[in-house]
């Protein structure tokens, strides 16, 4: 019922202080490229933050759902307030939104995607097929990525850094 309720109300839009936004501990992205953050910071300094971040109420504060790069760059740019969309998502919907945001934008490396999928599957007791349907992806994509986590750590590191492709990793 919680996920259904989150669809019933439209997001609230507005500006809030960056100091009341907490990052999401379940954020699938673990690596933030310093050069990309610097470019985004410069763009924000010149043009402002053009795309709001997505947050949900968390007591007297807010938890970030999507837009951690934008939040980090905005803070680095010295912004005190940023535009937000406030939604009432439960934990499951929050994790889905974070996965979709990052997967659709190709921002995650294959190992981060795999770990995000695995964490979601374990936490919400879903099958690969159910997750694929919820994210609008093919089940083999989910299964193949999650299988990467069974590879030795050094192979995962090579995939993470782009030294080898997921295809090469599966062959190993």
| Residues classed as catalytic | 68
Nearest Cα to Cα of residue 85 among 66, 71, 69, 104: 66
Q: Most distant CA pair in the chain: distance in Å?
A: 50
Contact 156, 111 (CB under 8 A): yes
Q: What length does the chain have?
A: 172
Mind giving me the DSSP string for 77-146?
TT-SEEEEEE----HHHHHHHHHHHHHHTT-S-HHHHHHHHHHHHHHHT--HHHHHHHHT--HHHHHHHH
Nearest Cα to Cα of residue 31 among 157, 169, 171, 142: 157
β-sheet bridge partners, residue 113 = none
């Amino acid at each position: 019922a919680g996920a259904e309720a989150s669809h019933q109300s439209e997001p609230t839009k507005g500006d809030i202080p960056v100091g009341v936004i907490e990052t999401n501990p379940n954020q699938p992205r673990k690596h933030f490229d310093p050069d990309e953050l610097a470019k985004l910071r410069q763009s924000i300094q010149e043009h402002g933050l053009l795309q709001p971040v997505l947050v949900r109420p968390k007591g007297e504060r807010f938890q970030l759902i999507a837009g951690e790069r934008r939040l980090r760059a905005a803070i680095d740019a010295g912004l005190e307030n940023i535009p937000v969309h406030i939604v009432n998502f439960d934990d499951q919907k929050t994790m889905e939104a974070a996965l979709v945001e990052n997967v659709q934008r190709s921002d995650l490396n294959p190992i981060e995607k795999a770990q995000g999928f695995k964490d979601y599957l374990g936490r919400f007791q879903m099958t690969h097929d159910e997750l694929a349907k919820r994210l609008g992806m093919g089940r083999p994509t989910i299964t193949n990525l999650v299988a990467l986590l069974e590879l030795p750590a050094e192979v995962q590191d090579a995939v993470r850094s782009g030294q080898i492709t997921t295809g090469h990793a599966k062959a190993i």
